[in-house]
Amino acid sequence: MARMHTRRKGKSGSKRPPHASIPEWITQTPEEIETKIVDLAKQGLTSAMIGTVLRDTHGIPSSKLVIKQRISEIMKREGIYPDYPEDFRNLVRRAMALRRHLDGHPKDLHSRYGLEKIESKIRRLMRYYQKKGIIPKTFRYRPDTAATIIR
């Protein structure tokens, strides 16, 4: 089956190698890693950025492998997770940037088409998160109030 907004098929991208056990070079305990995650989240980093910091500066390839929980689950447990999921906020941020661009360049039809595709992804993801109960059922995406989602 082909992808919705491209003419390609299949899934591309690299896959993480399977790990059966915790790598031996990790010296931190799961409790220390959890406190690092909470500290980084309180600094305002997203879960993806926290995972990147843990990988690049602390040598932890997968926090889920060590802690047995995802970074977002730890953030939710501590009450630090944002109101809207990260992928949803990133799409809204892209749509807002494209709208700003179109304000200055109203004849850019390629960007207008790109904005339509991004907003259709936003609406599709919004329906999914409403079904899962992650965002309220009464929520509606409106471009004029999208800045409140990002915060």
In the chain, domain spans: 30-78, 86-150
pLDDT 10s digits, 10-21: 777 788 778 778
pLDDT value, residue 25: 86
pTM for the predicted model, two decimal places: 0.80
Q: Using CB atoms within 10 A of its CB, is residue 75 exposed (0-12), middle (13-18) or buried (19+)?
A: buried
CB within 8 A of 50, min separation 6: which ones?
A: 37, 40, 41, 71
Residues 135 and 126: beta-carbon distance below 8 Å:
yes
pLDDT 10s digits, 29-66: 999 999 999 999 999 999 999 999 999 999 898 888 88
Q: How confident is the model at residue 99 (pLDDT cuts 50, 70, 90)?
A: very high
pLDDT value, residue 149: 81
Other Cβ atoms less than 10 A from the Cβ of 148: the count is 10
Rounded CA-CA distance 48/24 in Å is 24
CATH fold of the domain at 86-150: Helix Hairpins (1.10.287)
